[in-house]
Amino acid sequence: MPTTPTPTKARSLTMSRALANLLTYAMLIAGAVLMLGPFVFSVMTALKTARQFNTSPPLTPPNPVTFENFTALFSEQHQFYVPIAITAQVVIVMVVGQMFASILAAYAFSFLEFPGRDGLFWVYLATLMIPPVVTIIPLYIMMAELGWRNTFAGLVVPLMFGSPYAVFLLRENFRSMPSEIMDAARLDGAGTMRRLVSIVLPMNTPILATLLLITVVTHWNNFMWPSIIAPAPEWRVITVATAALQSQYDGNWTLVMAATTIALAPLLILFIIFQDRITQSIGVTGFR
């Protein structure tokens, strides 16, 4: 028969649990402060005047609160709406191109039989080990030879046809599906594309939503390639335009932080919209 713990042991067990919970919440709060701190600092600085930022400690709350930095960004001098529009178009093209190409490639590597399939997949996956900076110069030369420097095509074409990470992530999830479902669909006469559209994609919506969010964040924050291939003011994306607000002798930090806040806002909204899907994808991946 189970023995009833003595009052001393019960008190000790309760204190241990309380201490464990306290330590857990302390770590969570520290992590939240570490993650949210830069965003809070960015917003606070964006709401200050340049004079207050230069004459008071950085963590001083804005007094008075001003929105002149945000209005200045959209004035005739800076025209920050142009980089926002260009970045949005780049992200849309990247999402459509990468999702379409990655889904088809992952489906082929998962369910289609052809000679050298696995070898080709591992060779493709091995390109993940190549640092992106290594390919910058060859890509730049190719785009310059095509006359695509400072053009929309130069911004999107080299990166829009899938990625090894996306193909690997989707392939592993596709291959973990029950084979009986695909066999039953094949016996019912469903063709290759019908199985993809009607079975594979609906059963993998959480991981597709997660990949969508990763793709948007990656290309919304992309800086190196746009700064090299399209440095002209009329083709600057939001990251390059934000960096251009600084000059050698004037940091313009209040303007920079206002631009940073504007750049972060859509990503936060997107994460709030898709957070349930992300949680589901983590659970489904762990369960499989």
Mean pLDDT by 10 residues, the chain (288 residues): 62 79 90 85 88 83 87 87 93 92 91 87 88 87 91 90 87 85 82 86 86 90 91 90 74 86 86 73 51
Return the number of other C-beta atoms located less than 10 Å from residue 148's C-beta.
Answer: 19
- Residue 55: φ, ψ to 5°: -115, -5
**CA distance linking residue 197 with residue 47, whole number of Å:** 48
**CA distance linking residue 259 with residue 251, whole number of Å:** 13
At the topology level of CATH, where does 79-287 sit? MetI-like fold (1.10.3720)
Query: What's the burial of 268, exposed, middle or buried (CB within 10 Å: 0-12/13-18/19+)?
Result: exposed
In 3-state terms, what secondary structure has residue 196?
helix
Residue 287's pLDDT is 44
Residue 100's pLDDT is 92
Residue 2's pLDDT is 52
- Residue 249: φ, ψ to 5°: -115, -5
Residue 286's pLDDT is 46
- Locate tokens 């889904």: which residue? 103
**CA distance linking residue 24 with residue 27, whole number of Å:** 5
Q: Which pTM does this prediction carry?
A: 0.81
Q: Which DSSP state fits 127?
A: G
Residues comprising the chain, all counted = 288
- Locate tokens 């009052």: which residue? 7
Q: Are 213 and 271 in contact (CB under 8 A)?
A: yes
Residue 142's pLDDT is 92
When the pLDDT of each residue in the chain is averaged and rounded to a whole number, the result is 85
**CA distance linking residue 100 with residue 94, whole number of Å:** 10
Q: Are 274 and 202 in contact (CB under 8 A)?
A: no
**CA distance linking residue 102 with residue 228, whole number of Å:** 26
Pick the closest to residue 102 from 240, 204, 230 (CA basis). Answer: 204
Residue 228's pLDDT is 92
Residue 176's pLDDT is 85
**Positive or negative, the Cα torsion across 71, 75, 78, 83?**
positive
